[in-house]
Amino acid sequence: MSIDQEMEEILQLFFEESFEGLDTMESGLLTLDNSANRETINTIFRAAHSIKGGSGTFGQVNLNATWQFNVAGAYQLPLGFTIAGNYFGRQGYPIAYYVIDSGTDGLSRRSYVTAVDTFRYGWVSQLDLRLEKNIPITATISATIGVDCFNVLNLNTVTQRNARLNQPSLSAGTQTVQETQAPRILRFSGRVSF
């Protein structure tokens, strides 16, 4: 079996386990509406932790931050308006520089040339805002229209670069930006409740 075939099987297994984890998280989150208990919350966190841990197998992203914060709030204004905001921040993930070594057995291995936590990306923060208007239609039917603005400050923090050393290519060489924070996004929505 070639390395590519083996990696494809590992990737397929990761996706299967991730979808199972997402299903577990979804059902747990939906039951929190009715009753919150420690076991349900622990189940949700275990599923999220498993997905996060498994994702470190691919690419060169080391998903760990020693601190993060999240501040969220909502306020109901007169006339059926609601405003809400969410501000999230975390320490940047580590940049682990590496080279690819070919072993005598014909397999390629990643060898880190720096400690995983020596270099880090800049810290990531994002401010999201929402405004919505509830419109009563009858005693039991209402419509809600809303607008969300994600990444209000339009930060474009680099979240991943190519950390493989000795890559001279301009398009995929060492330090080439591979991922940045998503740009500012506006989303309009509508909902009918009955």
User: What's residue 83's pLDDT?
Assistant: 96
For residues 38 and 31, the answer to whether their CB atoms sit within 8 Å is no
DSSP state of 56: T
CA 94 to chain centre: 16
Give the pLDDT of the chain (194 residues) as one tens digit per residue: 555 566 677 777 878 888 888 888 888 888 876 677 788 888 888 888 787 766 655 555 667 788 999 999 999 999 999 999 999 999 988 888 888 887 777 777 778 888 877 888 889 999 999 999 999 999 999 999 999 999 999 888 888 888 888 887 777 788 888 788 889 999 999 999 88
CA 56 to chain centre: 13
Give the 3-state secondary structure of residue 126.
strand
Half-sphere exposure of 70 (CA within 13 A, CB side): 3
Q: Find the DSSP H helices in 33-180.
A: 38-55
User: What's residue 55's pLDDT?
Assistant: 66
User: What's residue 127's pLDDT?
Assistant: 95
User: What's residue 87's pLDDT?
Assistant: 95
pLDDT single digits (tens) 120-141: 888 999 999 999 999 999 999 9
For residues 91 and 64, the answer to whether their CB atoms sit within 8 Å is no
For residues 156 and 184, the answer to whether their CB atoms sit within 8 Å is no
For residues 126 and 88, the answer to whether their CB atoms sit within 8 Å is yes
Residues 6+ away with beta carbon under 8 Å from 7: none
For residues 136 and 193, the answer to whether their CB atoms sit within 8 Å is no
Phi/psi of residue 141, each to 5°?
-120, 135
| Dist CA 18 CA 40 (whole Å) | 18
User: What's residue 2's pLDDT?
Assistant: 53
pLDDT single digits (tens) 164-175: 888 877 777 888
As given in the structure block, the two tokens for residue 4 are 């590519």
Q: What is the pTM of this model?
A: 0.65
- Look up tokens 């994600």; give the residue: 150
User: What's residue 134's pLDDT?
Assistant: 94
Pairing label, strands 142-150, 124-136: antiparallel
